[in-house]
Every structure is written in structure tokens, then in C-alpha cells.
Chains A and B, each alone.
Chain A
Amino acid sequence: MSRRVPVHITVNGVEHASEVEPRTLLVHYLRDELGLTGTHVGCDTSNCGACTCHLDGESVKSCTVLAVQADGADVKTIEGMADGEKLHPLQEAFWEHHGLQCGYCTPGMIMAAADLLERNPSPTEEEVRKGLEGNLCRCTGYHNIVKAVMAASKVGAPA
């Protein structure tokens, strides 16, 4: 019933040509159109950050971006983080330091952390905590998430 508009979006290195309703959120485009269900939805007010992915190299909350705004852009999701069988250092660190429990916030948390470390490769613990303020986790009390991000940074794992 509703008008659809064409978009060209490159996701994890693969170019997709699709037609979407103008109001389609990027997160629903990724999940429902492309079947990339690693990007999650946990709220409707852009607080929880479960939907965080990268748009042209910067982390965004994909529930607050329209798919049409990503037209022509390069999107990276959690599915694009590992290099084949080899996990991304953040994925490895989250595994090693028990940075996840239910796993629901994890993809967004890793994408936000990747952006944080890109901008600040040697953060202090406080900078990591401030930097992840836009991503909510209810399981871990953030303790092991912070530890994992520190371990994946240039600072390295605490003794």
C-alpha cells in the first residue's frame, strides 16, 4: 500500500539494492530485509544501544537511522566483525573475560566498543565507562564488559 523507494546499501562488504518504505528503520532493514538478525532492538527511545552498528565507519543506533538515510553508505554489523573463523579482538576479549551473559546487548556493545577504541585506542577505565554510556546491559553489571574492552585496547588486560 505504501510507496517504496530504492536504496543501495553496502552491508559487511556486500552491496544490496532494495526497495523500502521511506519510514523503514535501518535496524528493521538489516533484520527483516537482509536477515542479519545479530543487530537487536531493546527499546524504542534510542537508549539501550542493542541496535548499534557502524555507518560509514561510525557507530550509530540503527533504530534511529532510516534505511533511506543509509542509501549509498557502508554499513557494518556484528556479522561482519570476524575475519572468517577468526574472531575480532573484541569478540575474543568478550569471550575470554565473560563480557556477556544472555548475549542480547552484546552485538551492540561490541560495535560501540569498536568505535570507542577506534577513536581512543588507549582509554582509561573511566573513559570506557563513559564511552559505553549509550549501551545498556542488565546481566553483567558492566564489570566484565569494561574489562573486556580494556583487554582489547592497547592498554591490554589488567593483571
Chain B
Amino acid sequence: MSITEERAASTNGFIGQRVRRLEDPPLLTGQGRYVDDINLVGQLYVAFVRSPEAHAKIASIDTSAATAREDVVAVFTGEDVAVLAPLPMVWAPPGVEMRTPEHWPVARGNVNHVGDPVAVVVGTDRYSVVDATEDVVVEYESLPVVVDPEEALKDSSVIHEALGTNKSHEWGLGGGDVEAGLAEADVVIERRIVNHRIAGGAIEPRGVVAEWRGDELTLWSATQIPHILRLLLAGMLGVPEDKLRVIAPDVGGGFGSKLNVYGEEATLGWLARKLGRPVKWIETRSEGMQATHHGRDQIDYVKMGAKRDGTVTTLHIKVLADLGAYHMLLTPFIPAFTAFVAGGCYKIPNVQTDVVGVFTNKMATDAIRGAGRPEATHILEVMMDQMAAELGMDPLELRRKNFIPPEDFPATVAVGIVYDSGNYPGALDRLLANLDLEAFRREQAELRERGIYRGIGFSTYMEICGLAPSRVVGPSGVGIQAGFWESALIRVHPSGSITAYTGASPHGQGIDTTFAQIVADKLGVTPDQVDVIHGDTGRGPFGMDTYGSRSLAVGGEALVRASNKVHDKVKRLVAHLLEAAPDDIELRDGKFSVKGSPDRGMTLAEASLAAYVPENLPEGMEPGLEETNFYDPENFVYPFGAHAAIVDVDAETGKVSVVRYVAVDDCGPAINPMIIDGQVHGGIAHGLGQALFEHVAYDEDGQLVTGTFVDYALPTAAEFPSFETDRTETPSPVNELGVKGVGEAGTIASSPTVVNAVVDALRPLGVTFMNMPLSPMRVWEAIQAAKGGEGKGPALAEGGGQ
């Protein structure tokens, strides 16, 4: 029996149970409602003309042929789209010089990456508007293209003239003294780790529908952040927040890629008002690969020092972050996230991360699943294996030697943050209990005789989520220009059914079900009696949306607190009606009843009716049954776990096959274990995808050479085995449920796991280090280079992507 089953058996409530998802029936039957499923009367279609050049001056745009078409209503260029402000970037770290280029929804003057929009065409149907884009004649004067971030830093050609440099900013975070740590070390290793550029790859492309009526704008967008989008669009469009409603209907996945304020959203809002007709734009996949933000793209120069006994004394990371052509919402902040968890689950006294952000002629990078933490884990977990090899130690022994011990929690780490709870050896023990290492070693030896190299790799990760204590990440702290609380409103209707509004805005995470389970337990109903509403600024309070594995730890806790308020009011009301003391009322078997006399009680529905037909309320009690909570967490939460991968490498072809993938994750007590497993599966696949296949690649002219799902190699079912998942449960002291996030954990843990496994497999051939993606060609090259090169790290394998 797994831990979860044990827990479920021990409680009568819905929390901890594998409840089938409430959101599924419409999605299973074709009744979902995504943006492209919304069609308004009189709707026009929109298509963008995009730059085929990576860097160029727009010499002229001739829109006459397109405008003359019968099926075209209007064509606009950059200056025409007269929004009041450029697209926003919201990180202003105190004391840091941040150079942010102007970034308009439709380019003005220059284009800076392939896919930069230069004109927008509005027409009467889906197909002809695309035809019309080909009638817009744009003359470009090519400018020098900068693609390589290390080259960009030399400023031999500057992308944004007004900035005078390609360097966006420098920022650092650390603690202790890395130099002193180096002096203490017996062994120091250095590696250049390339964490290449990847895509979010949500299967639903982005899309927007906008409608202007009277003085109100309604905008439907495939977004993760309807509330933030409304606030920022209100400023760009000059529409008061109360007259602007943003709706995220069913959203077909995000993975960070829909966590932005995109030019297309601003443009559609502007067009709807300008033309007085509803407008619709649906991104094609080719557009999405060019113009939906990418992620990762760091070159990490890492130095780690340790004593002979394995004690890690110092870690210094220099991050060169390729930001692409612009700052989007959080572009420069993402590599900073790497710095927060640079020390991982180890007691490393001296840790320093120095970030340099640089512009190149590529699409902007921003948050993609994990957003800075996969990079950190990749660095640290690859380095732990590298150090273990250097010391001649078992990689797991080295990890155990440096784990922050369970008794140290809450644990203040070198960079100054406080890890809430953890049991790192516990997760590793559980992982090993799921593996049969002896069998693995046996099979490894047998397979090697047949030219198949089997390897095992581990990562013991931790991460930071539950964004966030506003005082820590807000304007005077880390410098994000926002607060990071979450809102919840519980509305019990007179008949006892419940609408629960959350400021989180899920897009596949199963929050409707998870949240309904929580409210059901708090108020003595069943989950199907709780309707969870999200993603609509016209319903429910302002919220801070869904990203960074925050929905449950922050939004769920807000919901708990709002539910507790309702629970308390019901208790006082029932006590009054039953002539008992409020403290003597308990919720038991779906009834608020007098302790010891279960017959004397009322259901939520009975109490609710009494609250809405207020003939006999306690003195001072307001009628109705509805409560709101805004919750700003005291700390982040810090999930962790231990993952292992077993891979086979065909030394003749370089092909890597993942034979087993075993994951133990700890995100605190489970609300719905089925949903947690699903999140872990998807997360693992995203990290394995990056490690083995996926790569957003540009050529030296800044042309995107992976512009479709074929070239990008989004993994299919045939690439993966079934995953083995298990959990430990270490509650967080930060929130009442004890929960942590789990949406990104799998991705954060998995890329180093599989890379370590491949290197482990190939050590007998002399391969000691590799950068992702471990494509057959790159693995084969590494093997060949090792054969001819004295067993040192092969040069070709260290190249990484651009």
C-alpha cells in the first residue's frame, strides 16, 4: 500500500482521495470551449505580417494591394497601432541598471527577430486574411545579426542602438564567501554547461477574440494570466480596469508560454475598439514557434569545490542568459530564479550566482515550465556527478554527505532564504526502495557484451514555489512590481450549492477538482456541489493567476481561509438556532451538529437558507453566506524529491532509450494523488524532451530552423516508457494544508537525471561529460571524440545550442 492509499484509508473526507476530475466530461465529449471555439456575430479575422529577417530596418511598407482587396477591412502598421505604452516588463531590482528596449505590439523602425510582426491585416474570413498578408510589401534593409550570446556580449554589433550595448543587466545573489570556499577545497572542478533553448509546446496555440461594446472591451485569450493581463492592458489601451474584462476560457496548456502580455493581445484590443467589430486571431503553429516566448537558453560557467571527504565547500555559477531580442513580462528575471535554488538540497556554505543578461536576434525568452529552476537543478545535479567522479566517490554517497539533514528545518541556506521543510534522505531512501540496483548492475554487464551501454543517473532536487511572500519578491524586495497573494471567494447559495471563485487561472492542472475537494471537506458537502470559477476578471475578485506551481499552495490556502470563515459563520448561526454554544458545534458526516448529539444539527443547505431568509440571526450577524479571503504567504514552499533514470545507449548509432524512469516526489500531503501523478508525468516528459530531443535552433543568420513540431521534435508516446512514481509526504508549515506545488517538479528534476544516466552509460567509452540535447548524432560524436581523444570531454559534445 502506498503512502497515499494509507492516507486515503485513514480519512473519511475528500482530501487525499483519488477523485475523478470534475472538469473532464465536457472536454471528453467535444464540449470544451477554447478561444477558437468562440465566434461572435460580425467577427473579423486578423493575421499578422511577420519579419522573415532577424535584424533589419523597415525601409517601407506598402499596404495598398492588401487594402484594395474586397475581403480586407483594414491594414495597420506599427505606428498605426497607437497603444499608449510599449509591452511591459515588470522586474526592477533595486540598485540594478536595467536596459529595456522599447517593444511595441507591432514593430516600429526595426525588426529584431524572425517573426517580429510588422503589419496587421483584418479581413472577413480566416483564409483570405492570410492571403492578404502576402500582398503587404515590406522592404527591409538588413542589419548585422547577432545570434551567439557570447559574441553578443562583445558588442561588436549592437542590436538596440538606443541602449548602446547588448548587455541587458547584471545581477547577483549569494552568501558566504566563494573564494574562501575555494581555498578550503581539495578539489575544484569547472564546467561550461549549456542549457539550450526550448519551447513551451502547448498543443493549443495562442489566440485572442476581442469585442468592443459601448465603452467596454471584452477580450478572450488563451492565457495563464487573465487578471495580470487586464491590469497591464488597461494601461496600454487606456481603458479603465472596470471596463475591461479578460476571460481565459478553457486553455489548452500553457507551460509558461501563455504567461505573458503579448503584442497580439494588445493589438486585438486596440483593433476591436478602432473598428467597432469583434476581431479574432488564432496563432498558427509556425507563428507560435517564432513568436511565442521560448525558455532556458543559458550558458552556465560553473565552479565547484569540495574536500577529499566529499564536503562541498563552494559553488560559483556565472550565468550568461540569452534573453533574445526583447524584455517581455519577466524575461530578465528568469535566470535570477536559478540563483535562488543554486544550492539545492545541500548544505553548501558558500554559494554565488552572477547573472549577465544579453540580447540577441531571437525571440525573447521567458518562463517555461520550471523557469530558472530546471537550469539550477541541471547545473547542480550534473556537477554533483562530475565531482563524485573526480573524487572517486559514489554519486549518491556524495549527495548524502551534503544533504541538509531533516532536523535542520526550517533551514536557512547560504543565499539567505529559509527552506520550510524537507527530508532529503527520506526521498532518496524511498527511491532506492523502488529500484533494484543489483539487478541493474547485472543487466548492465550482460548488455555491454552486446554493445548496448546501460547507465543509471540520479538527481536529488529541491525547488522553490508558491509565489510568493509579497514583501520578499515585491518592489522593495526582489523587485517584481506586484504583490503575489491570492484571492478566494466562497459563495454559498440559498439552496446550499457553492460557487468558489479563485484568482488562480488553471489550464489543465485539475484545480476545479482539487479545490472542490478542499471546500467539500471544509463545509460538509460533496465535490460535485462545488463549482470552481476561475479565469474571468468579470466574475470574482482580482487574482494573481497560475504559474510557478502556486495555485494550490497560495490559491488553495486562500480558499481554505475563506472556507474557514464560512464554516465559522455557519457554526455561530447553527449554535444560535439550536441554542448551543458555537464551540459545541462540529461538522460531522455532512452536518453541523451539537457535539455528542449528532441528531441535533443542520446541513449546510439548511443553515444557508436560514442565512438568506434571516428571520432569526444572532445579534449583529449579517444575512447571506459569502466570504472572501486575500492570502499573502509568509514564505515560499520548497518541494523536493529524488529521481532515477535507466537508459540504454546504442554505441553504434548514439541512440538513447529511456528504459525506466522512477520518481519520488514530496509536495506535502496529497489532496488528489491521481492529479499529482499526472502533473509529475507531464513534468518528467518535458524535462526528458529537453534532455534528449527538443531544441529551438537558429542558424547563424538568425533563421529559425526548428519552426514546426517536426523539426522541433516534440516527443511522441513512442519515445517514452511508462513512468514509475511514488511519494513521501513532508508537510509544509507555511499553510494549513501543508501543501507544496508539483506542476514543475518533474521538469526540474528530470533533465540532469537522464544526462547523468547517459554519461554513466558511456564512461567505459571515455565520455565523461555532455551537454543537452543528447541527440543520437551528438552522442555518437561524443563517443567518437572520446575514442580519439584520451577520454577527456569531447569538444563537439560541449557545444550546446545557440
Contacts and interface: CB of A to CB of B under 8 A. Distances in A.
- For chain B, what secondary structure do more than half of its interface residues adopt (helix, strand, loop), or is it mixed? loop
Interface stretch (B408-416, B514-522, B707-715): B707-715
Given A44-B286, A101-B678, A143-B681, A136 B29 contact: no
Interface in A1-37: 1-2, 21, 23-24, 28, 31-32, 36-37
Contact of A95 (B24, B508, B722): B24
B1 interface: no
Given A1-B70, A138-B253, A141-B681, A104 B285 contact: no
A140 B682 contact: yes
A78 interface: yes
B214 interface: no
Contact of A37 (B30, B681, B682, B746): B30
A91 B27 CA distance: 10
Contact of B21 (A42, A98, A107, A147): A98
B202 interface: yes
Interface size class of A (residues with CB under 8 A): 35 or more
B285 A144 contact: no
Nearest to B255: A138
B347 interface: no
A50 B37 CA distance: 14
Contact of B34 (A2, A40, A129, A143): A40
Contacts of A78: 28-30
B32 interface: yes
B250 A43 contact: no
Contacts of B718: 129-130, 132-133
A56 B23 CA distance: 31
Nearest to A24: B127
B685 interface: yes
Contact of A36 (B30, B70, B684): B30
Contacts of B709: 43, 45, 47-48, 136
Interface string B700-742: 0000000011100010111010110000000000000000000
B21 A138 contact: no
A66 interface: no
A106 interface: yes
B422 interface: no
A82 B252 contact: no
B717 A47 contact: no
A127 B32 CA distance: 29
A102 B203 contact: yes
Given A37-B37, A47-B709, A98-B678, A106 B714 contact: no
Contact of B253 (A23, A102, A141): A102
A43 B285 contact: yes
Nearest to B369: A138
Contact of B36 (A41, A143, A145): A41
Given A78-B30, A102-B508, 9 more contacts: A44-B708, A48-B285, A98-B678, A100-B28, A101-B508, A104-B253, A135-B716, A141-B723, A143-B720
Interface of B: 20-21, 23-25, 27-34, 36-37, 39, 70-71, 126-128, 200-205, 250-253, 255, 282, 284-286, 507-510, 674-675, 677-678, 681-686, 708-710, 714, 716-718, 720, 722-723, 746
25 contacts: A1-B70, A1-B128, A31-B37, A37-B34, A37-B36, A38-B31, A42-B203, A45-B709, A45-B710, A50-B203, A78-B28, A102-B508, A103-B23, A103-B252, A104-B203, A104-B252, A129-B716, A129-B718, A133-B717, A134-B716, A137-B203, A138-B200, A138-B253, A141-B746, A144-B678
The 9 A-B residue pairs with the shortest CB-CB distance, nearest first, are: A38-B30, A104-B252, A103-B27, A102-B508, A141-B685, A141-B681, A101-B508, A78-B30, A37-B37
